[in-house]
Amino acid sequence: MQSNAKRPRVVIVGAGFGGLNAARKLAGRDVEIVLIDRTNHHLFQPLLYQVATAALAPSDIASPTRAMFRRDRDITVIMGDVTGVDTARRVVAIRETGELAYDYLVLATGAAYSWFGHDEWAAHATVLKSLEDAETIRLRLLGAFEWAESRTDAAEIARLLTFVIVGGGPTGVELAGAIAELARSTLARDFRHIQPAAARIVLCEAGPRLLAGFPPSLSDYTLRTLGELGVEVRLGANVEMIDAFGATASGERIDSANVFWCAGTEARPAARWISADAARNGAAQVEPDCSVPGHPDIFVIGDAASLAGADDKLLPGLAAVAKQQGKYVAEVIARRIAGRPAPGPFRYHDLGTLAVIGRSRAVAHLGRVRLRGFPAWLIWSLVHLFLLAGFRNRLMVYMNWSWAWFTYGRGARLITGIPPEEESAAPLRDETAQAAKRPRPAGTVLRS
């Protein structure tokens, strides 16, 4: 597929916050835009934990990418898995699709979780980066209570009802708080033989405090609030082992059927594709205008890029950074094509950071303003509703949140599949195997 001779072609890899905003900003600029992503939807990752804990349905936080650009005739959407870039020939390789030529390339491929050299732990712990991950956690989370209800061995019940979260950043804190509220409020009266409120939630953080990117006072509030919710927080707890039956952190063995990994991240292989220098987390080191040294036609943004801010500190892996970089790079490309001066180096405008802990409890760091409790939770709710793509998503999330706030209920608690047969899911796998041997009535449809 060759580049259009009449108009420059801009290829954008990744339909996350960075790629989406770059495409939107370039629309109508007399360029041909091709947006490539491995999925057919844009995902609002900050609310993934709510899908994982049955508060929202997957469709509430994702929108079909193609539908979002239905009216933008300059934008072509391709669902495909990019496997490499030939910078000499200026083509992108897409698995099972072929090669796609570009005049300008924007790599907004995001990040994946890092196992810190222990890739074998991935077989026993579940991450939270995609809709598939969120659905897997939901199945394992709800399934653990269901299996525990039918068990008689106290040790097995305790293991099923123990949930370990590794990582005390925003995702780990939000997931721990949501699981605690699910167990102690939503499921509290649904079972006859177990007490969901007795579920054990253990949050392990290797550092000295939670939410390291927030001021210490907000970290302390978060620690106290999680304690009030019944979450056991282990600070300075380095995870030493994760296996099929739990985890070991700083010498303490925690038997658990479910370990959720929310620790460090590493950039997806954009830097390797273009043979660029990379930081320790694999992010490509870029120029002040987000271009790759030696390749002024290639830009890397978001979690895939390593760039220092005005304070000489590396920019954080936040949606706000990716969005601003996406818009900035689009302006750089548009000006370059039009023969106009460059806009100057990228400057990140920090609008603040937010993290929710539980019902009506959150923390907000907005410059010099530091909020906690209900005011922070209200700001968090309004900001996330505003940032969601599409009116339908905003309406559905608002309705679900309103219903949950008044009733403590969660509307996405259906188990509609079978959790993956991993070693870490031994009790679930054993039950599935036994069920498969039982005779089934004619006409039964099996889900896989």
HSE on the CB side for 174, CA within 13 Å?
23
Structure tokens at 97: 């699709």
Q: Is residue 50 within a helix (H) or strand (E), and if so which, with residue range?
A: helix 48-52
Distance CA 185, CA 230 (A): 12
* pLDDT value of position 411: 64
**DSSP codes, 104-122:** EEEE---EEE--TT-GGGG
Catalytic residue chosen out of the listed positions 32, 135, 174, 205: 174
Distance CA 218, CA 426 (A): 38
* pLDDT value of position 418: 60
The superfamily in CATH containing domain 9-38+80-113+265-338 is FAD/NAD(P)-binding domain (3.50.50.60)
pTM: 0.87
Amino acid of residue 138: R
Please tell me what DSSP assigns to residue 278.
B
**CATH 3.50.50.60 domain extents, the chain:** 9-38+80-113+265-338
Note the pLDDT tens digit of each residue in 309-326: 888 889 998 899 999 999
Residue 96: what are its φ and ψ, rounded to 5°?
65, 5
Output the CA–CA distances (angstroms, integers) from residue 41 to 63, 83, 130, 301, 329, in the order listed. Answer: 5, 19, 11, 19, 22
- The answer to whether 35 and 78 are in contact (CB under 8 A) is yes
**CATH 3.50.50.100 domain extents, the chain:** 119-263+352-407
Beta-strand relationship, 291-292 and 239-243: unpaired
Is 174 tagged catalytic?
Answer: yes
More confident residue, 60 or 311: 60
Q: Identify the band that residue 191 occupies on the pLDDT scale cut at 50, 70 and 90.
A: very high
Please state the rounded mean pLDDT for residues 120-133: 94
> Does the pLDDT of residue 443 top 70, yes or no?
no
The mean pLDDT of the chain is 89
Scanning the structure block, which residue is given the tokens 């010099």? 368
Note the pLDDT tens digit of each residue in 258-274: 999 999 888 888 999 99
Query: 33-42, 166-175, 235-244, 422-431 — which is least confidently predicted?
Result: 422-431
Residue 250: what are its φ and ψ, rounded to 5°?
50, 45
* pLDDT value of position 21: 96
Output the CA–CA distances (angstroms, integers) from residue 337 to 6, 72, 341, 437, in the order listed. Answer: 12, 19, 10, 65
Q: Identify the band that residue 256 occupies on the pLDDT scale cut at 50, 70 and 90.
A: very high
Q: Identify the band that residue 417 occupies on the pLDDT scale cut at 50, 70 and 90.
A: low
Fold of 119-263+352-407: FAD/NAD(P)-binding domain (3.50.50)
Residue 150: count of CB within 10 angstroms of its CB: 10
Distance CA 104, CA 91 (A): 10
Output the CA–CA distances (angstroms, integers) from residue 414 to 57, 135, 146, 248, 410, in the order listed. Answer: 10, 11, 11, 31, 10
